[in-house]
Amino acid sequence: MLILYITRHGETKWNLEGRLQGKGDSPLTEKGIEGAKSTKEKLNGTKISKIYSSPSKRALDTAKYIGLENVEIEEDSRLMEMDMGGWEGRVWFEIGNEYNMFKENPESYIIPRGESLISVKERIENFFVDFLENNKEGNYLIVTHGATLKIIYMYLNNIPLSFYWDVPLPVNNSLSKIIFEGKKVKEFILGETYENYK
């Protein structure tokens, strides 16, 4: 049986301030570090064969703080957060009408100097083609980001990108679980999400 766990990186300084991070970065808070450590407890002794992590420092630090000894951490840029270009480091209300345009047409909007949801979906699809080709059984863990995790959920459940804002955002250090039957998803259990995200 092939099982994939996915966690969102720990809380960061910019998360606390409500700033968009994208491919930018900010350090984990103490809460983020403790949350990462608690992920090991959530895995409840599950033997993990390998960790795939976004190369962003907040994700890699989370992977290291999870503390799975003798488990390889493989960096994969396809698991990075959506590139938010000129929005990075800013809060939503500073973006104004551009944010409204993204809300109204998520499937076609391209963030200025950034990335589209289509682009994120393409790299996620590419990752899973390789992942399912190379891993037939065992337990694996992905450490990634909020928007990326949403797109993973949508891609594996065949949800159109136009419904992006209807999919809840997983909280930091949430733990999702996917059970595969061959290359098909048998069950996708999304981890804890924010209740008032939309």
- The catalytic residue positions are 9, 81
C-beta of residue 123 within 8 angstroms of C-beta of residue 78: yes
Per-residue burial over 135-170, b if 16 or more Cβ lie within 10 Å, else e, is beeebbbbbbbbbbbbbbbbbbeeeebeebeebbeb
Q: Specify the amino acid at residue 58.
A: R
- Asked if residues 69 and 6 have their Cβ atoms less than 8 Å apart, the reply is no
Instruction: Quickly count: other Cβ atoms within 10 Å of residue 21's Cβ.
Output: 23
DSSP code for 116: B
